[in-house]
Amino acid sequence: KARLAILLSGRGSNMLSLVQATQTGILKDLAEVAVVFSNKPEAPGLELAAAQGCPVASLPSQGRKREAFDAEAAVLLQQYQPDFVVLAGYMRILSPAFIQPFAGRILNIHPADTHQHQGLHAYEWAFDNKLTETKITVHLVDEGLDTGPILAQESVDLRGAETLAEVERRGLAVEHQLYAQTLAELIKTKQNVMSSAAETSRSEN
């Protein structure tokens, strides 16, 4: 099974839906949670993860220089040998010190089309601009802010959504489903690539 390190800074609803997907859902035979990590030791999501029986770890980022914190966080996470680092409301821009050890294996979910809106408050942006539709994006993380290659996008119908809470409710429902599904597809693709590589090397020997 693929080992997931799930990173969060707050509530943890995406983390919870991923954990549940590994327990009884679409990720059941594909992935396991190696650790749930936070840069905020007091994040509600950490307690939620512990209550699900997940290993948890934290390292306070407050007052730390970005590169030094990221290097330390990367060393800590490497001890859990993750195949994928899954950002789930991890509200930090990652520096090369963090990205390099996990290059090409870091995923993020962003509650907008990353070509249209980057950074924080994407649901407020959709609501304030009275969008009738927004998009949820799952992408690989590079060194920019919400700029990495897109793995999957799904629309959220916002027609008739009259409050910000309703916009968020509809968006999060899509987030929770899309993140687990995208990870499942990614893991299956990786497994297929590895088994056909093994097949090739067997037939060459």
Beta carbons of 92 and 119 less than 8 angstroms apart: no
Element (H, E) at 177: helix 164-204
Whether 110 is a known active-site residue: answer yes
Given 110, 117, 139, 176, which residue is catalytic? 110
Stretches 8-16, 46-54, 78-86, 189-197: which one binds ligand GAR (CB under 6 A)? 8-16
Residue 151 touches ligand GAR, criterion: CB under 6 A:
no
Q: Detail the residues annotated as belonging to a binding site.
A: 12-14, 66, 91-94, 108
Residues 181 and 205: their CA atoms lie apart, in Å, by 36
7, 34, 88, 178: which one binds ligand GAR (CB under 6 A): 88
Pick one of 110, 117, 139, 170: the residue that binds ligand GAR (CB under 6 A).
110
Q: To 5 degrees, how large is the angle CA 152–CA 29–CA 111?
A: 25
* Nearest alpha-carbon partner for 177 in 76, 26, 1: 26
Rg from Cα positions in the chain: 17
| The binder of ligand GAR chosen from 54, 175, 178, 187 (CB under 6 A) | 175
Tell me the closest approach of the beta carbon of residue 76 to ligand GAR, in angstroms.
Answer: 20
Binding residues for (6R)-10-formyltetrahydrofolate, as ranges, are 66, 91-94, 108
In the complex, the smallest distance separating the C-beta of residue 53 from ligand GAR, rounded to whole angstroms, is 19
**Residue 38 or 69 having the CB closest to ligand GAR:** 38
Return phi, psi of residue 137, to 5°: -120, 130
Contact between 8 and ligand GAR by CB under 6 A: the answer reads yes
- Which residues are CB-contacts of 142 (< 8 A; sequence separation ≥ 6)? 99, 148, 149
Helix or strand run (H / E) with residue 157: strand 150-157
Q: How many whole angstroms separate alpha carbon 84 and alpha carbon 104?
A: 9
By CB under 6 A, is residue 148 in contact with ligand GAR?
A: no
Helix (H, G, I), strand (E, B) or coil at 13: helix
- Residue 120 vs 193, nearer CB to ligand GAR: 120
Of 5, 14, 138, 187, the residue at the interface with ligand GAR (CB under 6 A) is 14
CB atoms within 10 A of CB 28: 14
Catalytic residues: 110
Q: Where does this chain bind ligand GAR (CB under 6 A)?
A: 8, 10-14, 45, 88-89, 109-111, 120, 122, 146, 175
